[in-house]
Structure 1
Amino acid sequence: MNIYVFAKWQVKEGQLNTVLELLKVAAAKSREEEGNLFYDIHQSQQDVNTLLLYEGYTSEAAVAEHRNSAYFQELVVGQIVPLLENREVTVASKLDTI
């Protein structure tokens, strides 16, 4: 079953360009993962410091592999997260019955 990750990042004032540069690298590496279906990044039209990430993975194991990867720990957890005011992450599966 495919797994989807929805993340909302509120970037600290003055840190957007740094976050976007780091995110380019993280997104490219994520898209190379065997279990990755897609990795899309959106920016709020109401607040440029709000980024929305929409990611798809082939399984829960693929999500775990993504989160445990060295680049994720270094780039996202180590460098990007300290530049965020807030970070919300929701992991979901698609309801095909509706």
Structure 2
Amino acid sequence: MAAASRRPESCVWCGREVAPAGIGRRRRYCRQSCRQRAYEQRNAVKGTSIPADAVVLSVEEASALSDRLFELRCAAEDVATAVAEGAAGRELSDLTERLVVMARDAERFR
């Protein structure tokens, strides 16, 4: 019986895909630098009222995330319009591929 394939894990710091660990514990970070940034943030919030698992974004990061989400919504609306107008399969395929790429990009919050 084949092993069940698991959905790729996302880095808990940046949201990028994490390479499978093989044997042992699942990896939580895509790179050592993400692991380091997460450690620094955990230490920065010690002794404050900010929860240790809080995600703190700069104004620039929050704005970029908002922009990516807006672009994602627009791409989803493009797909819905194409379906409503009876678009050809190839056009729908191209639009959905773009939508998936944008959704992956929107998952990153740093």
TM-score by length of 1: 0.27
Larger of the two Rg values belongs to structure: 2
Highest relative contact order (Cα 8 Å, sep 6+), 1 or 2?
Answer: 1
Larger relative strand fraction: 1
With structure 2 as the length reference, what TM-score do the two structures score?
0.25
